Structure 1
Amino acid sequence: MYPSGSRRNHTNGDPKSLSFESFLEAWLVRQKRYLEELLSAQHSSCEVRQDDHLELIHRVLYHYQQYYEEKSRVANWDVFLVFSPPWLTNLERALLWIAGFRPNLLFRLVSSSVNDMTEDQSRRMDRLVAETRMEEKALNDELAKIQERVGAPPLANAIRRYGRTAQDGETADGSGDDSALGGLRKALEKVVANADMLRATTGEKVALVLTPPQMVKVLAAVAQLQLKVRGLGLQRDAEKGQNGGN
């Protein structure tokens, strides 16, 4: 079985993949520590000052910002990697939406972890949900247009050549791309950047609606879900490996 959080030997020696995998393992260790802090603050909320809650929230949000910054560097080097990232488990990859989590998932966690919102908070949250769904749809439409372009013969041929290069172990750094594949890269880089921006801003906007103790609950729920999915994915991949991939 893999060590906790580890996906070693699944990056085919790709330097950028290996670099991000190392970053992610360290990031997940910090994520577990933050979860412990969040749960501690949540369970002793009456004794914790609001300033302490805010300080913890800011540190956790910055923790996520570091993830997006590092992921952006990989996407700019080879955007295809973030659409099927070898550092994630099969289960995690199955849940991806434009190379990350769907922003509306955050609202489900708000609903399940916060039961004391005021009427004003509920109205503001409903507006935010509607706005986020519209932005998600716009990104879905943008991605659909890109996928339609992939079927064009020149682009399909370019992608096949890219695939053969990757299989041969050559570095696919985007240099020497023909115009079709280069255009696809730029379009995908843009949609991933916009999706990551939506993920980040959704979290920030939710934090503006909720009180600090409420946001602590939500951030704890987010970390618990992520680590649970990660752990289950590692377990399933290990079991599949032991069974010969069947």
Structure 2
Amino acid sequence: MSTNFGFPQFYNSWFDHLRHLVKQLTSLPRPPYTATDSHDLCVLIDKFMSHYNDLHCAKCLAAERDPLYVLVAPWATTFERSLHWIAGWRPTTAFHIVYTESSILFESRVIDILRGLRTGDLGDLSPSQFRRVSELQCETVKEENAITEELSEWQDSATELVGPGFDINEKIGLLVGIIKKADDLRLRTLRSVVGVLTPQQAVEFLIAAAELQFGIRGWGVNHDRPGSR
């Protein structure tokens, strides 16, 4: 299997465009003051989700060509890889971002909220939104655990490598399926969380998620730079 399929170049270009999308999101008024503002927010949210879908599709193709290459994620920094769950971010991270941002914003505007003034941001999640986010988190944890168990079983079967009649192509095919399941869960989790939120809240969530990626990658690049250690 060849590893020369240009995925690192694709990822670098994808990551640069993510920065561009974040700049577009941060430039829009929040809360939206007009119908045009609301429309622009929804258009950019769709672009954001389409951008993540592009990564999902490209990574699935890369996994089909060489799942071992994708699993070790050489396009990522060592710090990023230390945080990886099956070649990418852990899906349940999305819920931690929602809870963290909600808590920070709630504390900063608690007086207004207690007075009944609606802020409309992540600090102003409704009880039904909190309930749905919690339900999604539980569902995602179960799926994460199931996929983790699949990978564990795949790794435990390494003893078969020295056994008679071992089919390496079959084993590699199983790994491809595991990586695809992990990436599918990542994308579905993003879509599910965004679907629970209002456009304003979704924008805040997507910006926070992207800024976390930027921070982790930035720290990792500095750490990996020659002479930094």
How high is the TM-score relative to the length of structure 2? 0.84
Alignment equivalent of 2:53, drawn from 41, 61, 65: 65
| Deviation beyond 4 Å, 4+ runs, structure 1 | none
Deviations 1:53-105 (A, max 9, x none): 11110000000111111111111001001111211110111111011111000
Alignment equivalent of 1:105, drawn from 84, 87, 93: 93
Task: Measure how far apart 1:50 and its partner are.
Answer: 1.9
Does residue 137 (structure 1) correspond to residue 145 (structure 2)? The answer is yes
Q: Helix, strand or coil for the counterpart of 2:167?
A: helix
Match for residue 186 of structure 2?
199
Does residue 116 (structure 1) correspond to residue 103 (structure 2)? The answer is no
Match for residue 212 of structure 1?
199
**Which amino acid is 1:144 matched to?**
S
Deviations 1:10-61 (A, max 9, x none): xxx9522xx1121112111111111111222365644563221111100000
Deviations 1:159-186 (A, max 9, x none): xxxxxxxxxxxxxxxxxxx843212211
Does residue 82 (structure 1) correspond to residue 70 (structure 2)? The answer is yes
Q: Helix, strand or coil for the counterpart of 1:25?
A: helix
Question: More displaced, 45-54 or 229-238?
Answer: 45-54
Q: Do the aligned partners of 1:79 and 1:185 also contact (CA within 8 Å) in 2?
A: yes
Structure 2 portions without partners, runs of 5+: 102-121
Over 3 Å counting, the alpha-carbon distance change for 1:129 and 1:45 in structure 2 is same
Q: Do the aligned partners of 1:154 and 1:180 also contact (CA within 8 Å) in 2?
A: no
Q: Work out which structure has the larger RCO, using CA pairs closer than 8 Å and 6 or more positions apart in sequence.
A: 1
Q: Do the aligned partners of 2:3 and 2:65 also contact (CA within 8 Å) in 1?
A: no
Q: Number of paired residues?
A: 207
- The 5 A counterparts of 1:1-246 are 14-16=3-5, 19-41=6-28, 43=30, 45-46=32-33, 49-113=37-101, 114-154=122-162, 179-238=166-225, 241-242=226-227
Cα distance in 2, alignment partners of residues 104 and 133 from structure 1: 7
Cα distance in 1, alignment partners of residues 159 and 85 from structure 2: 21
**Which amino acid is 1:122 matched to?**
F
Over 3 Å counting, the alpha-carbon distance change for 1:14 and 1:128 in structure 2 is closer
Q: Do the aligned partners of 2:3 and 2:69 also contact (CA within 8 Å) in 1?
A: no
Identity %: 30
Root-mean-square deviation (CA, aligned residues, Å) is 2.0
Question: More displaced, 43-52 or 125-134?
Answer: 43-52
